[in-house]
Amino acid sequence: MPLLLPPLVRINWSREIHADQLSSYRPRKGDHLYMILKRRRFFHIPARQIEYIGMAYKQTVVKRLSDHHELPKILKERMLWGEVTIRFGQVKPQPMVKLNKKLVEDVEAALIYQMYPEHNDVHKKSYRRKPIRIRNMGRFKPLPRSIDSFFFEK
């Protein structure tokens, strides 16, 4: 019997924009995910840390972020450690896999479970969704290139 692999989803991440430039950002078609990052320096080495991963399926990412409950908290903290930037992700499933809200929710949950961002509250303790494989493309750091929920602890 052949081994059935979970669906592969590619995420094409955009360049970073500063949180202050959010109102002038023109979203790309298919921007369904976003990650809020803080940038700081450790011993003169720039470092990025993911603070929040989220999704905007039926609304634009700019609209979602402008109404976001965590963004003001993160922006308030930036005085302590540096600048806040945002990246946007276009979700592109493999052929024969339908792009829908459920799939985007599964991708978001897997990213949160893998990366454990400080300001996310759900999906951090366990991953109880459909198996999925994610390939991050574009400017994806500090995310790993590949994430496979098959390897998550049960």
3 state DSSP class of 7:
coil
> Tens of pLDDT along 26-54?
777 777 898 988 876 656 656 788 888 98
Domain residue limits, the chain: 8-151
Candidates 132, 111, 134, 133; CA nearest to 55 is 111
Given a contact cutoff of 8 angstroms between Cβ atoms, the answer to whether 47 and 38 are in contact is no
Name the one residue in this structure whose structure tokens are 């011993």: 43
pLDDT of residue 59: 66
Confidence band of 10 (pLDDT split at 50, 70, 90): very high
Sign for the CA dihedral angle at 9, 15, 20, 26 comes to negative
Cα angle 48, 54, 56 (rounded to 5 degrees) comes to: 135
Q: What is the pTM of this model?
A: 0.82
Residue 124 pLDDT exceeds 60? yes
Q: State CA 152 to chain mean position distance.
A: 18
Confidence band of 136 (pLDDT split at 50, 70, 90): very high
